């Protein structure tokens, strides 16, 4: 298994501002994943972050809105830019613990006012 921490755990932000979420893993991993969970909804993959290369974004998500950094094999950041109330969600970081099994961080609960 993998132990994942995220910062901040929650935040309330004003529209038009940006928030950077940090994800730290206790072991080196090749791929890190960022998910969004809007209120009352399931989880949707935003992007996959590989160390040393640009993140791969899923349909409907763009780098200008959700820039991602992956400076090393244990750390990644996701920025939510120019926020609007529609960005209010839980953002979760995830890694694979084995070939396929995935583990999730505790999430960052974001409210945009």
Partner 1 sequence: GIQVEQSPPDLILQEGANSTLRCNFSDSVNNLQWFHQNPWGQLINLFYIPSGTKQNGRLSATTVATERYSLLYISSSQTTDSGVYFCAVHGWMETSGSRLTFGEGTQLTVNP
Residues that bind partner 1 (CB under 8 A): 1, 33, 37, 41-45, 48, 56-59, 90, 92, 94, 98-104, 106-107, 109
Q: How far is the CB of 45 from partner 1 (least distance, A)?
A: 6
| Residue with smaller CB distance to partner 1, 74 or 108 | 108
Q: How far is the CB of 59 from partner 1 (least distance, A)?
A: 6
**Which residues, including other chains, have CB under 8 Å from residue 20's CB and lie 6 or more apart?**
77, 78, 79
């Amino acid at each position: 298994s993998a132990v994942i921490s995220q910062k901040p755990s929650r935040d309330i932000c004003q529209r038009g501002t940006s928030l950077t979420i940090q994800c730290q893993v206790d072991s080196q991993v090749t791929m890190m994943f960022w998910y969004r969970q809007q209120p009352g909804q399931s989880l949707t993959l935003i992007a996959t972050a590989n160390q040393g290369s640009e993140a791969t974004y899923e349909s409907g998500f763009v780098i200008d809105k959700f820039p991602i950094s992956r400076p090393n094999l244990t750390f990644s950041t996701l920025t939510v830019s120019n926020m609007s109330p529609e960005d209010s969600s839980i953002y979760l970081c995830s890694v694979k613990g084995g070939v396929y099994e995935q583990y999730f961080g505790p999430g960052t609960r974001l409210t945009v006012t």
